[in-house]
Amino acid sequence: MAHATNMTLAFPTIPETPVLDTIVAIAFTLIFVTGVPGNLLTIYVIARKGQVQTTTNVYILSLSCADLVFVLCSPLYAVEFLVIGNKFGEVGCRLRDTLDICTMLASIFTLSVMSIDRFFAVVFPVKSLGYRSDMCAKSIIIVIWAVSLTVALPLFIFTHESEVAFGDFVIRFCQNKMSFKAQTAYTTTVFILAFPIPFVLITFCYLSITSTLLHTDNNNPLPQSTDSKKSKRRVARMVLIIVICFFLCWLPFWIFIMLSYYSVPIEQNTGKVIAVLFISLTYVNSCLNPVLYTFLSENFRKNVKKAFKCCSRKVSPVSVIQANAGNTSTSHARARQPMVTEMGAF
């Protein structure tokens, strides 16, 4: 949604701020060099060896893809800010703004569905088994991305590269060609889809989850093992922390955007600093999730270690033949064993 502040940030009448420019350069470099490898690692760990076999893993894979695309777009914003103006042409304008909205919506929709999935796993563990399959989760993810792209499509249509001349100096910048009234309506719609509705839905899910975990499982006709209950608590806690971080990182940005449309205009230089801070915070959120997975999921840490061991291990052709010969007798039995269980997201 950075398009809402493009005119303010790129307009050449704003005084130069070398200190802010340095901070932006350092911040976005750190965002890129941590966010891209972190999310690529998450995608690799989940996708390798058919580990996408739980609903939680399917949703986290989608979330990581959204975070990765979002972080990959960060240099477009940073370059425009630092050099004053768009350097990526018409296509760059349209893609950046469209992907901003698409990935943001895909992230919050995925987090909402993850919360609903945890709600059914804890509150209705038996009744929901038929619906909480990996195939069902994959179908939901396809719908989420289709809806997100559809909502973002107006930006691809109405965002264009414009230019303004100051003597011999020409500034090119990305501009939304919608009328102010249309922009306000569109931004408000995106805000409602991305914040109040998911917030209410997720809050309800976790209040119900908390209530169920604190009391006897009266809704569950079959007793659950202690390990199963602990696992569900761990997964629910991980999803909740990810959701809280998302809302904390995006709330200041949305307050700033909605005030810019519905309140007194903010002074330009002040608005520039605030916009940079809040937009940077949204990018930081996409770097946080891999860190959260590492600290909150023991299975994720184990799979990361396995991934690095596989990459660093040097295997000779003879050892491969011997290993294959030794494993022939058990290959069919292993094939029938699930790679990942409900007790071990990641």
The answer to whether position 344 is within a domain reads no
Residue pair 79/330 in contact by the 8 Å Cβ criterion: no
Give the separation between CA 159 and CA 136, rounded to whole angstroms.
35
Length of the chain: 346
The answer to whether position 346 is within a domain reads no
What is the widest separation between alpha-carbon atoms in the chain?
80
The answer to whether position 95 is within a domain reads yes
Tell me how far CA of residue 339 lies from CA of 53, 94, 296, 342, 345, in angstroms: 7, 41, 20, 10, 11
Positions in the chain short of pLDDT 70: 1-17, 49-53, 84-87, 165-169, 216-229, 264-268, 310-346
The answer to whether position 327 is within a domain reads no
Note the pLDDT of residue 30.
Answer: 93
Note the pLDDT of residue 123.
Answer: 86
As to burial, measured by CB atoms within 10 angstroms (0-12 exposed, 13-18 middle, 19+ buried), residue 272 is: buried
The answer to whether position 159 is within a domain reads yes
Quote the pTM value: 0.78
- Of 208, 209, 292, nearest to 244 by C-alpha is 292
**148-180 pLDDT, tens per residue?**
999 999 999 998 877 776 666 677 777 888 888
The answer to whether position 11 is within a domain reads yes
The answer to whether position 345 is within a domain reads no
As to burial, measured by CB atoms within 10 angstroms (0-12 exposed, 13-18 middle, 19+ buried), residue 5 is: buried
**95-106 pLDDT, tens per residue?**
888 999 999 999
Note the pLDDT of residue 78.
Answer: 83
Radius of gyration of the chain (CA): 23
Note the pLDDT of residue 283.
Answer: 92
b/e map 76-104, b = 16+ CB within 10 Å = bbbbbbeebbbebeeebbbbbbbbbbbbb
Residue 85, phi-psi category: left (phi > 0), alpha (psi -120 to 50), beta (remainder): left
Note the pLDDT of residue 251.
Answer: 92
Dihedral pair phi/psi, residue 52, rounded to 5° = -85, 70
Q: How many domains does the chain have?
A: 1
Note the pLDDT of residue 167.
Answer: 64
Domain extent, residue 250, equals 2-301
- Of 70, 41, 66, nearest to 282 by C-alpha is 70
The answer to whether position 333 is within a domain reads no
Going by the DSSP 8-state scheme, the letter that residue 50 receives in this structure is: G
CATH code, domain carrying 241: 1.20.1070.10
Note the pLDDT of residue 52.
Answer: 58
